Amino acid sequence: MAFKSPAAIVLSLDAAIPPRASFSTSRLLVLSFLAGAYIALGSLLALMVGGGLPGWQETLPGLQKFLFGAVFPVGLMAVVMCGAELVTGNMALWISPLLRKKVSWWSLGRNWGIVFVGNLIGSIFVAWFLAIETGLITVAPWADAIQAIALAKGNAPFWELFWKGVGCNWLVCLAVWMALAAEDVTSKMIAVWFPIMAFVAIGFEHCVANMFFIPAGIFAGAPLEWSGFWITNLVPVTLGNLVGGALFVGGLYGWLYGKE
């Protein structure tokens, strides 16, 4: 068989996830810093491509969104194939082993908490040093684009952001799940590309990507308070991502195939 069945994926998680519960805090922070940086680099690439087409937003908005989404997946490809800890993916991957009593609630909460912090550090590192200090997004049209993105994300209503977070991580975790099913690098890349392109082009919300987009926008001069990042956006998006990944992917597939 060229790919793993859903039941085989559940069994593979039983073997892969428990050892990660014993990772030291420093190792988790480094792995999650890398994941945050990888997602931020994908976000920066998407900004440089999609944000560099200002006229297309009015005349060809669908194509502009597609191009923005088409290059973004490089970040998750690096996470999946190079090895890193991404909190949104872990929201799905840890649920089946938890349901099967392979890991504890304490281990799950510790992983998610530390990885969230590490993802934040990695994302902001890229936003400041590789996007602002390099001057890449401090000039038009990219400065205008990142400021507009930050303002839109930082001023959206709670429930809009929550449900966009649900849709986003449903697709993100499906991408991770499909990559686990694949047996070779090319198949893993294809498995990641389609769902990630889809969530970005649709306009869903990913908490780790927003750890880059909103701080970068603020650094670039967007008139947005930090509360627009922490409270207005990150809280509802993270909660939505949790539902999308833990319930619709990890929970349902763990329940459906965990007894096979």
Segment 97-134, tens digit of pLDDT: 999 999 999 999 999 999 999 999 999 999 999 999 99
Q: Which residue has the tokens 């991580």?
A: 169
Is there a contact between 161 and 240 (Cβ–Cβ < 8 Å)? yes
Rounded to whole angstroms, the Cα distance separating 4 from 99 reads 20
Radius of gyration of the chain (CA): 18
Q: What backbone phi and psi angles, to 5 degrees, belong to 3?
A: -150, 160
Q: Which residue has the tokens 């530390």?
A: 114
Q: Which residue has the tokens 């191009």?
A: 67
3-class SS at 190? helix
Rounded to whole angstroms, the Cα distance separating 232 from 98 reads 30
What average pLDDT does this structure show over 41-66? 92
- State if pTM tops 0.85: yes
% residues pLDDT > 70 (the chain):
99
**Each residue of 93-102: b (16+ CB within 10 Å) or e?**
bbbbbbbbeb
Average pLDDT, the chain: 96
Q: For residue range 127-179, list pLDDT tens digits in order.
A: 999 999 999 999 999 999 999 999 999 999 999 999 999 999 999 999 999 99
Q: Give me the pLDDT at residue 23, please.
A: 97
Q: For residue range 208-217, list pLDDT tens digits in order.
A: 999 999 999 9
> What are the tokens at 216?
């970068």
* pLDDT band, very low/low/confident/very high, at 1 (cuts 50, 70, 90): low
Q: Which residue has the tokens 């990142």?
A: 146
Query: CB-based contacts of 101: which residues, under 8 Å, 6+ apart?
Result: none
Q: What backbone phi and psi angles, to 5 degrees, belong to 182?
A: -75, 150
Rounded to whole angstroms, the Cα distance separating 138 from 154 reads 19
3-class SS at 3? strand
- Dihedral Cα 164, 169, 170, 173, nearest 10 deg: 170
> What are the tokens at 186?
């090319």
What average pLDDT does this structure show over 205-234? 97
Rounded to whole angstroms, the Cα distance separating 186 from 197 reads 16
Q: Give me the pLDDT at residue 2, please.
A: 77
* pLDDT band, very low/low/confident/very high, at 16 (cuts 50, 70, 90): very high
What average pLDDT does this structure show over 240-248? 98
